Amino acid sequence: MAFFTPGVIFLTRSAVSLLFPCSIMVAVRYILSHHFDIYVPMRVLFATTVVVLPSVAYIRYGLDQMHRRRRAAALGARIACPLTSKWPANLDHLIALVKSAEGGYPGEVYLRLNDERLFIA
């Protein structure tokens, strides 16, 4: 029996992965100021956080994509093309899906996308 829902588990893992680097930086700042008399301004700490966290996320994403490409090549598989969108988070495709479900068949949008982009046989 599960005690936590998947959403709660996802949020706690995300919070831990976000708070861990920040807590390390604060601990380093504390150690530098109290033991070595080197003062690091809070604005430098904030700027470092703003730059480092997105950079680490981008590097992790790139390494994950490289791992997926190598795994697909080893298995002889093809990776599906990413779905490009005009709106952030593919909202235009979601709106088209909702409109398709209201006025036609729900999977009709995927047939159009298959003809335009995916070329899956």
Q: What integer pLDDT is reported at residue 113 of this predicted model?
A: 74
Per-residue confidence (pLDDT) for residue 66, from 0 to 100: 96
Please enumerate in sequence order all residues whose Cβ is within 8 A of that of 78, keeping only pairs 6 or more positions apart, or say none.
72
Please state, in angstroms and rounded to a whole number, the distance separating the CA atoms of residues 114 and 109.
9
Greater pLDDT, 32 or 18? 32
Burial letters 22-33, b for 16+ CB under 10 A, else e:
eeebeeebeeee
pLDDT above 90 for 11: no
**pLDDT greater at residue 118 or residue 68:** 68
Helix locations, 36-90, DSSP H: 42-75
If you average pLDDT over residues 37-58, what whole number do you get?
87
CA 69 to mean position of chain CA atoms: 17
This prediction has a pTM of: 0.56
pLDDT digits (tens, 9 = 90+) for 55-101: 988 999 999 999 999 999 999 998 877 777 888 888 888 888 888 88
- Return the pLDDT at 70: 96
Give the whole-number percent of the chain exceeding pLDDT 70: 93
